[in-house]
Structure 1
Amino acid sequence: MTPDLRTSALKMIPLRLAGAALMAATAATIATMPVPVAAQETADEARIRKIEAEVRALQRKVFPGGDGRFFEPQIGPGTQGSATTPAPAIGTSAPSTTAVTDILIRLDALERQLQALTARSEEQANALSQMELRLAALETAGNVPIDAPAANLPAVQPAATTPVVVPAAATTPAVRPPVQTTPAPTVPAPTPAPAASVAAPSASRLAAVQAIAKPQTADAGDDEYSYGFRLWSAGFFPEARQQLTRFVEQYPNHTRISFGRNLLGRAFLDDNMPKEAAQWFLKNYQANKAGDRAPDSLLYLGASMIAMKDTKRACIALAEFAETYPLIASGRLATDYQANRAKVKCS
């Protein structure tokens, strides 16, 4: 090889080495280059889509129908909490009934039941009130004895006369005055008058009294009262007082006790003895204000005060009668009450 060629060969060796080094550097650079941008963007988009799908699934579980496309109302118009919800959209689950909807439905049902119960209770209360009024009227009408005189007699009557009675100046011995109870605050009892001494009755009067038969039944107490009532009806007031006093003392718990005490007061009042009559009327009223003849006794107590010219006490008794027994004052004893009111001027 010539010197020139040798020199040229030596010059080309570095060039080859430099080319090889350049190729090696290029290969290393290519090996260390990142993934292409398009491939990287595709992977991120797939992850994002997966996350969005999972969020939508979670929203459908937590908020049914709340994915933005529609929203189900809890109560539709024209319904009472039980409206039918429309079909869920495609890809979403059916909305479930919430707790608020259930509470509203139950409240509506409770309100309807409460309204029905209230209406039924009002109807029953009205029916019960009507029954009580009818029962009170029946009891008032049933308290009148079979052999009683007319209810609308004047409060103070003149002494009755019968064909078989011969007037006599003397009567039977006076009856022991009854024990006076504590008077009511509004109607004080008058002071009892001492009994006057009397002589024995005439033979004709005794015969007339004996002509009145005494009942003989299984109820001895009722027989005693009925006999006193017959004597009073015949106008034998002293004999009636004696008989009725025996009944009141021997049968204080009899069903006719209110009748007996009231009739005993009538036997005094009809014999022009208003002071003694007032004692028995007041005692009968105070003993049992719900008694069969308690209203009559209170009314005749006012009549006794009128006969004694005691206007103040008469007005008190009449006012208490009208306030305590309004049905009787406008019914069974209306005539007697109006007659007594006409005799006095009450403020």
Structure 2
Amino acid sequence: MRKIIIAAILASTAAGAAQAQTLGTLDNRLNKLEREVRAVQRKVFPGGNDRFFEPEIQTPAPGAVDDNGGFGVGAATPTAVFTERLNALESQVQNLTGQVEEMNFKMRQMQERLASFESDTKFRLQTLEGNGGEGALDFEGGGGSPSAGGPEGQYAAAYSLYEEKDFSGAQSAFTAFMEANPEHEKASAAGYWIGRSLLQQDQPVQAVQAFLSNYQERRDGVRAPDSLLWVGRSLMQIEPPRREQACQAYDRLETEYEGKMSNEVVSGLVEARMEADCS
């Protein structure tokens, strides 16, 4: 009889140890899964707060399970504790999935809106020109031969004309620079100053074309973000102002050059959005 009792005790102890080991394994797996969901939250919604998703997964209060995997009197059963944690985790995953789907939907809407920007702007500019606009880009009027000092000297001479408020001369000089040095690192800046020179001559339609072409042809250029900003600002100088197209340009700028804009462009974008009353 004594041997039977001892065997029963040993069997019960082994079962308890096996149960504790199983519970420990499940607990580790749940902890790992919860950490992964939190990591996804932080990655998808950096700096996230209650505006984007609910507070992180709430796990049962510590102390429900003792150090040996056992449960004290009145404590929840292992099944109840793990069920609660799984339910919380499933709810959080469902919420996160819904938020990601909503974000993806909004991104698709933005992409569709931006995709139509260039062709829509080009069409509207052609319509403007057909209704008495100022015509196509006019880069005639000389431009002169390359200045002494090579490309750098030629660019400096063109910029001096702009500073001296000889905007027609600056337009021609920058155009000549670009024709002679299409791959030069300052070609993007020259294209930008052509647009600014046109605006100074009260030619916003041509300025839009110049800025848009400079952005399209040199998207990695140093003045590509500036050019896109001034596409919108030039559209606002056409009568009547083209607010919707200007806001499309600002959306494109913010999406394509996020984190790459100079402080000047960032502050200019804020001001331009307010001027155009962009939503």
Give me the TM-score of the superposition, normalised by structure 1. 0.42
Larger relative contact order (C-alpha < 8 A, sep ≥ 6)? Answer: 1
Task: Specify which structure has the higher proportion of helix.
Answer: 2
Give me the TM-score of the superposition, normalised by structure 2. 0.50
